[in-house]
């Protein structure tokens, strides 16, 4: 198996490189699994924790320009450890006998926002994928800032006005479905970071 250093791994996650992602999984997942199982979790919990951790690291790498200054193994373990602690807290499990199997770094404060954002993103994406094919495409094209005229041409529509109308219908349907999901209330935002940033700018 080809080896990758921490920089290669960071770049590989950002670029969704399958070789790097396979490497991380094969090399480090068993440690995460052992840790989760040692602390009241199942194989499935370990897989969920691992997946959440990689998505959180991806968000931090792409949006916060994260620089990992310890070994990737330690960083991944630390992120997984925190995520599993949060999941256990939600399940109101006894944490007195929490057992660590690897070295970890303290990243408590810097992870909360990204972990919660990741949970919301997964919910939004789940509902987006349930929209009709045409709704997904029209929203993607619109957000990619493709001119309305071009969207109309690609979709075979004559009226740009109708593109806007369809986009509005699709977006409202998506928002409505997300709000109806029971998970939505538990994931609602306390600090409206997007809004704060927008208003500041």
Partner 1 sequence: MNTYKYIEDYIDDDLNRDELKSFLDEVKDNKTMAAELNLRMEINSVIHDKGFSELKDILEKQKISDRQNNSPINIRREVMKTWHMAAASFALVVVAGGLWYILSNKPYTTEKLVGKYYKPAQPIGQVRGQASGNETLAKAFSLYKQNDYNNALNYFASLSNRITSKFYSGICYIELKKYDDAIESFKAVVDDNDNLYVEQADWYLGLIYLMNNQKKAAIDQFNKISAGDSYYAGQAKEIVKYIR
Q: Which residues bind partner 1 (CB under 8 A)?
A: 13-14, 16, 18, 21-22, 25, 29, 43, 47, 50-51, 54-55, 58-59, 62, 117, 120-122, 124-125, 128, 133-134, 136-137, 139-140, 143-144, 154-159, 162, 166, 168, 171-172, 174-175, 178, 188-189, 192-195, 198-199
**Min. distance of Cβ 97 from partner 1 in angstroms?**
26
Q: Which is nearer to partner 1, 87 or 171 (CB)?
A: 171
**Min. distance of Cβ 106 from partner 1 in angstroms?**
26
Q: Which is nearer to partner 1, 22 or 110 (CB)?
A: 22
Question: For the chain, how many helices (H) and strands (E)?
Answer: 10, 0
Give the integer Cα–Cα distance in Å for 131 and 2. Answer: 40
Give the integer Cα–Cα distance in Å for 71 and 62. Answer: 19
**Min. distance of Cβ 178 from partner 1 in angstroms?**
7
Q: Which is nearer to partner 1, 9 or 13 (CB)?
A: 13
- Which residues 6+ apart lie within 8 Å of 186 measured at CB? none
**Min. distance of Cβ 101 from partner 1 in angstroms?**
19
Q: Which is nearer to partner 1, 100 or 126 (CB)?
A: 126
Q: Decide if 28 contacts 53 (C-beta within 8 A).
A: no
Give the integer Cα–Cα distance in Å for 139 and 171. Answer: 7
Q: Which is nearer to partner 1, 98 or 153 (CB)?
A: 153
Instruction: Render 34-60 in DSSP notation, one character per residue.
Output: HHHHHTT--HHHHHHHHHHHHHHHHHH
**Min. distance of Cβ 110 from partner 1 in angstroms?**
19
**Min. distance of Cβ 82 from partner 1 in angstroms?**
18
Q: Which is nearer to partner 1, 98 or 116 (CB)?
A: 116
Give alpha helix (H) positions in 106-159.
Answer: 108-130, 133-143, 148-155
Cα Rg of the chain (Å, integer): 20
């Amino acid at each position: 198996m080809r080896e990758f250093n921490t920089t290669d791994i960071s770049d590989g996650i950002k670029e969704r490189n399958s070789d790097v992602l396979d490497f991380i999984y094969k090399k480090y997942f068993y440690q995460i699994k052992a840790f989760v199982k040692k602390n009241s979790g199942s194989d499935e919990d370990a897989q969920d924790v691992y997946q959440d951790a990689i998505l959180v690291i991806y968000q931090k790498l792409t949006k916060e320009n994260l620089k990992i200054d310890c070994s990737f193994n330690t960083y991944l373990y630390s992120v997984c450890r925190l995520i599993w602690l949060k999941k256990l807290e939600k399940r109101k499990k006894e944490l007195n006998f929490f057992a660590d199997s690897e070295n970890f770094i303290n990243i408590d404060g810097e992870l909360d926002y990204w972990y919660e954002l990741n949970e919301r993103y997964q919910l939004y994406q789940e509902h987006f994928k349930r929209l009709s094919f045409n709704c997904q495409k029209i929203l993607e094209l619109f957000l990619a800032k493709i001119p309305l005229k071009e969207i109309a041409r690609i979709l075979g529509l004559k009226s740009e006005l109708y593109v806007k109308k369809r986009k509005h219908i699709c977006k409202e349907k998506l928002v409505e479905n997300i709000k109806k999901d029971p998970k939505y209330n538990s994931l609602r935002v306390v600090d409206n970071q997007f809004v704060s940033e927008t208003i500041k700018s």
